Chain A
């Protein structure tokens, strides 16, 4: 583990993580397809996961990696629920374009 960090510094992981997170944010903000937005959320989650793992290795503390497992489990559950909702929306509306989903308007 440490050898990897010696070869590639921890800041590189941070740059990559920040880059992935930003890609996720822009994906959320710019894309209109709900499934793509969903994928963007996953990218953001995984960016954070990667940062946690990197710091965990850097600090020689395993609890960060344990935390990532929890996070992945929750993300899996979230994906299951989220996809189910999307399927349901598609059945009702015939599309998953979020510009067409304005029923929550106050």
Chain B
């Protein structure tokens, strides 16, 4: 019973993928969308059933599907581990996934490759389930690579645009760098513990097996973090995520905001017992996280593309999650992952709705005043914006506050930096709202004429997500802490924050900070009715931010150019040298043959002479020399 339900959970999206690949054209555009959605809904239902079960029994479900690799003592089974953590992740992967599939039916309806889109999306959900539900690092790695592949396919979905293809390649290559770290981490763990299974690893570490070789464990943790920073877009590997916005908006919502980019956080949370043994690496994670949050938020301040703003906001929020991870507050990071999935998916889908209404316009300078034309989109996005800005009582308030509280108790500098990042978040998110929905419409007359609210297939997912963004914080209210209790079996030495005066004070500071950010945005874009200048007129710091700290250019100069130079050197000198050597052999053999050819002159007399001479030589040798 459980096995078949697991198979349903795992394989429904895969079946959806196969049927859309092979039969998608026959189903028609709506048909393939409905099929893809149903496949994910089936997974979601199976997840809910398991979730209920685990929530009541508190027992993890481990299902052995088949033996995969067996070499001596080292064996890897193809097992599915459904414990509190993986089920929580599956809940929002399949749940939000289903909503986004539903949304895509309408959003992608006019595309000529709808069935391809849904097949990729189904494949993504399949790999994401593998990543989350696998019971050992190798299955997780399959899912990890698979979602990377789907991310690549979907970023480059509109493959006729070369820029989009480049963005897809960039995402893939950047992820490969991280994946290498992940793989090395896996190897080290396999070497140290002789197993890759999460449960066995945890037992081994709790039994104290790993403490003998802390340096190697630290290296493994660092390598795993490099993998996580590739997938979850942290410094220095984050630059692919903003470019990944080239994909269709539902893809940005599903893969590059809600699910795939949280895989790194999932992995670190999954292996929390390992990271607990490496405090230095945890410190690195916290610092990298807070700097990513800060840098991405700063860049987000001046972006004009509505999706780019959201992309940098995603990077920034992921940075905050890593901050929490680095401070050892895994359940807080998970809490923020969930609330972030709600409001960021809603924001992306809302921006998709706006882009849809404006027929592909993404520049906020050409928007404005959409509030009246698109009330549902406006209200849902407003709720999500309030949530991400950390305004009471929306979901983001609770989770972000927990992170900042943890940071305050851990390290005041980190707390200050994180707070600055979240003030900037409030500013740029309301800048987005004010520029898009308030003031006068700045687009063309024709666009103005066609302004319309999106159909129900688009607004319903928006409303559901907005409701979740509003009340999602309820899963871990201070004093109630359902999530902390639910996740308690995963972590050791877990302590809930008490609601003391410090906590109230910090909440107050965070709220005031968010209000300051909103206030600045209000005065700039509502009172003074500013519109961001054209790209070539920006000056000074603004220009540095608009160019993303020139990070792409720096990478180009420091990494890509030297690699090109190396490749050119190899081509011009090394390869030339090697091929000359090989060519030399050929020339020598050819010359010898040319000389030998002269012997074969067809003169029978000469042949006979050679024959007799040879025979005489042999006889001479045999009888006189030897």
Contact = CB atoms under 8 A, between A and B. Distances in A.
| A is bound by B | yes
Interface of A: 25, 28-29, 32, 98-99, 101-106
Q: What is the predominant secondary structure among interface residues of chain A facing chain B?
A: loop
A102 B597 CA distance: 14
22 contacts: A25-B612, A28-B608, A28-B612, A29-B605, A29-B609, A29-B612, A32-B605, A98-B605, A99-B603, A99-B605, A101-B602, A101-B604, A102-B601, A102-B602, A102-B603, A103-B602, A104-B602, A105-B601, A105-B602, A106-B597, A106-B600, A106-B602
Contacts of B609: 29
Nearest to B601: A105
Nearest to B596: A106
Nearest to B611: A28
A102 B603 CA distance: 6
A98 B603 CA distance: 7
Contacts of B605: 29, 32, 98-99
A99 B602 CA distance: 9
Contacts of A104: 602, 604
Contacts of B601: 102, 105
Interface string B303-325: 00000000000000000000000
Name, among B597, B602, B604, B612, the residue most crowded by chain A CB atoms within 10 Å (CB to CB): B604
A101 B604 CA distance: 8
Interface in B584-605: 597, 600-605
Contact of A105 (B600, B608, B612): B600
Contacts of B608: 28-29
B599 to A, nearest CB: 9
B597 to A, nearest CB: 6
A32 B600 CA distance: 18
Interface residues of B, number: 10
Contacts of A102: 601-603
Contacts, number: 27
A34 to B, nearest CB: 9
Contacts of A29: 605, 608-609, 612
B102 to A, nearest CB: 79
Contacts of B597: 106
Nearest to A105: B602
Nearest to A32: B605
Contacts of A25: 612
A65 B330 CA distance: 107
A101 B166 CA distance: 70
A25 to B, nearest CB: 6
Name, among B603, B605, B609, the residue most crowded by chain A CB atoms within 10 Å (CB to CB): B605
B404 to A, nearest CB: 90
Sort A-B residue pairs by CB-CB distance and give the 3 closest, nearest first.
A105-B602, A106-B600, A102-B602
A104 B602 CA distance: 5
A26 B600 CA distance: 22
Name, among B597, B602, B609, the residue most crowded by chain A CB atoms within 10 Å (CB to CB): B602
A103 B612 CA distance: 22
B169 to A, nearest CB: 55
A23 to B, nearest CB: 13
Contacts of B602: 101-106
Interface string B184-202: 0000000000000000000
Given A25-B612, A105-B602, 7 more contacts: A29-B608, A29-B609, A32-B605, A98-B603, A98-B604, A103-B602, A104-B602
Contacts of A105: 600-602
Nearest to A102: B602
A99 B473 CA distance: 107
B609 to A, nearest CB: 6
Nearest to B598: A106
Nearest to B599: A106
A101 B608 CA distance: 13
Interface in B34-63: none
A50 B69 CA distance: 80
A27 to B, nearest CB: 11
A25 B604 CA distance: 14
A96 B523 CA distance: 115
Contacts of A101: 602, 604
Nearest to B609: A29
Nearest to A98: B604
A35 to B, nearest CB: 14
Nearest to B608: A28
Nearest to A106: B600
Contacts of B612: 25, 28-29
B212 to A, nearest CB: 74
A99 B609 CA distance: 13
Nearest to B613: A29
B330 to A, nearest CB: 81
Nearest to A28: B608
B381 to A, nearest CB: 86
A8 B597 CA distance: 51
Contacts of B600: 105-106
A106 B598 CA distance: 9
A78 to B, nearest CB: 16
A102 B600 CA distance: 10
B612 to A, nearest CB: 6
A99 B608 CA distance: 12
B474 to A, nearest CB: 94
B532 to A, nearest CB: 82
B492 to A, nearest CB: 85
